[in-house]
Structure 1
Amino acid sequence: MTSPGAEPTIDRRWSVGELADELGITTRTLRFYESEGLIAPDRSGSARSYDHRDHARMRLILRGKRFGMSLAEIREIVDMYNGAASSERRQLRTLLTRLDEISEDLTERRRDLDRTLSEVREVADQCRTRLAELD
């Protein structure tokens, strides 16, 4: 088993349960992304076997979801990569554009939260002051 964040060896294979455990997700999540065509494990009957490529794609998919990307956006970025330097450049440019948008959105949300938190604290202080006056 590899440690979190460590790159697995190229010849490593995972069962559905092993990969789900390693990535901290459910087997249902893996099956969902398979049904969406984002990963394509080898099958032997009903058993699935995931390779290094599936592992890497799942890590990208999960990161995209954490960043708030839609499934369509994740698909576009993940499907763009085919190993060629030109496709990697295009993938990275597309990803950077989306990451800049996400960063701007998160920054705006942080400002909104800071304003709301400040207002909550102000009202709480007013309540404490009034309570002290009533005592």
Structure 2
Amino acid sequence: MPKVSRRTATQGGDYGPVVEQSEDLDRYTVDFRTFREDVDLTPLLKKLPDGRCQCPHWGYVFKGELRLRYPEHDEVYQAGEAFYAPPGHVPVHTAPGTEYVQFSPADDARRASAITLNHFPPLTG
């Protein structure tokens, strides 16, 4: 059975404000994310339908807080909580040091990451 950890993930990188370590397992992407500073992805999602992430995510917050904005409300997930984020959200990270893992359909995750994470150039040695 396939598995992955932060240490064994082969994709992603250090993008300054965010560190992403990911791996595709079958048809799903597993993303370990750490946010070093406040990041509001609203401006980066403008190219997506409705300016919102259209990829569903299931996950667990290890440290800090994950805030997702929806058209009608915000959802906040704290350390120790599992979450489901349906399509139509905007991630807003306002707790530096936030760490979580999320599981997403691989094709949807690639489309969303191409818009968001690739906006931050990877840091080099």
- For the aligned pair, the TM-score class normalised by the smaller chain equals under 0.3
Greater Rg over alpha carbons, structure: 1
Scaled by the length of structure 1, the TM-score of the pair is 0.22
Bigger relative contact order, structure 1 or 2, given CA contacts below 8 A and separation 6+?
2
Give the structure with the higher percent helix.
1
